[in-house]
């Protein structure tokens, strides 16, 4: 079968012939329909410092998907051939304290599909049954293929009460854009989204941001004044991984404000700790999605009208993957979907 493989320890990705994987007793075999390119896949493509330290070579990459089950292991009874499924990309150990307590997203032995173990950019992929998400409603398969990053947006946004609150989202990448839609759907009053990329800000606006702002051109204080905000943002969703965006957020939170941090900061990020202390801010780090509470929430929100379809800007056959990665690397895209 065809698979997109990180074959060499250098920039790039290679379309290769590999064996169809063999399933274990507690796995399912999924025939891919659609997969989406994640920022993580772009890091692996680029072969940056994080990838060099993390990714085994050669390995098939990818972790965002929708597909159909074509075979089930002998101990699998909850799923059957023909089921449409997506899946959680974090494979957890099942026996650490957090796993046993049902907080699987906090497992200390997590392995990432397409990061630490074989990924799903392939015609067929093996998924442990504990990672399967069954799609039993009538949800567009394009949207199901991006449940993983939508789950990041939902998990981050729903970390704190948003009803009637003013929300600042720094970073209008695919996850920040979707978080804007989620925050509005959940009942936020103003959702201000910042980015240095005007194309992406345009998409964030289409997805429901009240006000978009490019910090190279405008000041957040002026935007707050324009909206009639006096005391700062109630909730901050940091989705850029940028130090200056994080500091602007910390400076403009209301006292007692709450920040959920998804963006991955570089090693040199400095913040004014005393703003956090004296203003009584709450900061929560976010990793992945809650298994599977986030999956239930996002399904229910889509069924009750959450529309994130505009985040998908490009679709192409997997043989055109190079084009997909090139577009992602320009920053002039939302989600890019590869069809199998
Ligand atoms: P992305 O890289 O596509 O988006 C980040 C955006 O931030 C870009 O559009 C960029 O232009 C923007 N940005 C850069 N400087 C900025 C500034 N000064 N102010 C405002 N915006 C600025 O990433 P994504 O895929 O949308 O993911 C968002 C972040 O979350 C990334 O940092 C990613 O690494 C991280 N992430 C974390 C987890 C987790 O489990 N914690 C999971 C997925 C992604
Ligand atoms: Zn565990």
For 138-192, what is each residue's pLDDT tens digit?
A: 999 999 999 999 999 999 999 999 999 999 999 999 999 999 999 999 999 999 9
ipTM above 0.85, yes or no: yes
Residue 217 tokens read as 């051109």
Count CB-CB contacts under 10 A for residue 38: 25
Ligand in closest contact with the CA of 94: 2
- Of the residues 43, 84, 130, 314, only one is catalytic, namely 43
**pTM of full prediction above 0.95:** yes
In sign, the C-alpha dihedral spanning 191, 184, 174, 63 is positive
Bond before 292 cis per omega within 30 degrees: yes
- Give the helix/strand (H/E) hosting 70: strand 64-72
Q: What's the CA gap between 108 and 101, in Å, rounded?
A: 13
State the distance from the centre of ligand 1 to the C-alpha of 134, rounded, in angstroms. 28
Atom of ligand 1 nearest to the CA of 262: 41
Angle ∠(68,333,36) on CA atoms, nearest 5: 15
Ligand 1 pocket test target in 263, 313, 332 with most atoms within 8 Å of CB: 263
State the distance from the centre of ligand 2 to the C-alpha of 288, rounded, in angstroms. 14
Q: Domains (ranges, CATH) in the chain?
A: 2-146+308-339 (3.90.180.10), 154-285 (3.40.50.720)
43 is known as an active-site residue: yes
* Alpha carbon nearest to ligand 1 atom 28, residue: 239
Ligand in closest contact with the CA of 95: 2
Binding region for Zn(2+): 38, 63-64, 93, 96, 99, 107
* Alpha carbon nearest to ligand 1 atom 15, residue: 242
Number of H helices, E strands in the chain: 12, 18
DSSP 311: G
Partners of 16 in the β-ladder: 3
Bond before 58 cis per omega within 30 degrees: yes
Residue 311 tokens read as 């985040």
Q: Is 132 helix (H, G, I), strand (E, B) or coil?
A: strand
Binding region for NAD(+): 175, 195, 200, 262-264, 286-287
Q: Which residues of the chain have pLDDT under 70?
A: none
State the distance from the centre of ligand 1 to the C-alpha of 28, rounded, in angstroms. 32
CA-to-CA separations, 280 to 161, 253, 259, 260, in angstroms, rounded = 17, 10, 11, 14
Q: DSSP letters along 197-257, please?
A: -HHHHHHHHHTT-SEEE-TTT--HHHHHHHHT--S-EEEEEE-S--HHHHHHHHHTEEEEE
Sheet strands (E) in 148-199: 167-170, 191-194
Ligand in closest contact with the CA of 329: 1
State the distance from the centre of ligand 2 to the C-alpha of 291, rounded, in angstroms. 12
Q: What's the CA gap between 222 and 274, in Å, rounded?
A: 24
Using CB distances shorter than 6 Å, the residues near ligand 1 are 39, 152, 170-176, 194-197, 200, 215, 239-242, 244-245, 262-264, 286-288
Chain mean pLDDT for the chain: 97
CB under 5 Å of ion ligand 2: residues: 92-93, 96, 99, 107
Residue 66 tokens read as 């929708």
Q: Which residues lie closer than 8 Å to 111 by C-beta, 6 or more apart?
A: 90, 91, 92, 117
pLDDT value for 136: 87
């Amino acid at each position: 079968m065809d698979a997109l493989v990180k074959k060499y320890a250098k920039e790039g990705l290679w379309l290769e012939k590999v064996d169809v994987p063999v399933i274990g007793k507690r796995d399912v075999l999924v025939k891919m329909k659609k997969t989406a390119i994640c920022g993580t896949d772009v890091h692996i493509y680029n072969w940056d410092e994080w990838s060099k330290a993390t990714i085994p070579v050669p390995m098939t990459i990818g972790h965002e998907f929708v597909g159909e089950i074509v075979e089930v292991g002998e101990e699998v009874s909850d799923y059957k051939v023909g089921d449409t499924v997506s899946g959680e990309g974090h494979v957890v150990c099942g026996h650490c304290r957090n796993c046993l307590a049902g907080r699987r997203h906090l497992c200390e032995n997590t392995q990432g599909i397409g990061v630490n173990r074989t990924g799903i950019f392939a015609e067929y992929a093996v998924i442990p049954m504990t990672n399967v998400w069954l799609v039993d409603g009538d949800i567009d398969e394009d949207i199901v293929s991006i449940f993983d990053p939508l789950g990041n947006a939902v998990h981050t946004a729903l970390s704190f009460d948003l009803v009637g609150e003013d929300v600042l989202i720094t970073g209008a990448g695919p996850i920040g854009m979707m978080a804007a839609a989620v925050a509005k759907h959940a009942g936020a009053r103003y959702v201000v989204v910042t980015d240095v990329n005007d194309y992406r800000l345009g998409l964030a606006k289409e997805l429901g941001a009240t006000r978009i702002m490019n910090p190279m051109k405008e000041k957040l204080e002026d935007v707050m004044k324009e909206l009639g905000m006096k005391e700062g943002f109630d909730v901050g969703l940091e989705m850029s991984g940028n130090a200056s965006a994080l500091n602007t957020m910390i400076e403009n939170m209301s006292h007692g404000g709450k920040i959920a941090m998804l963006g991955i900061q570089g090693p040199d990020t400095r913040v004014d700790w005393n703003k956090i202390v004296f203003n009584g801010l709450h900061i929560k780090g976010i990793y992945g999605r809650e298994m599977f509470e986030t999956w239930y929430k996002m399904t229910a929100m889509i069924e009750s009208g959450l529309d994130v379809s505009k985040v998908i800007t490009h679709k192409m056959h997997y043989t055109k993957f190079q084009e997909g990665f090139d577009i992602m690397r320009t920053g002039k895209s939302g989600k890019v979907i590869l069809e199998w």
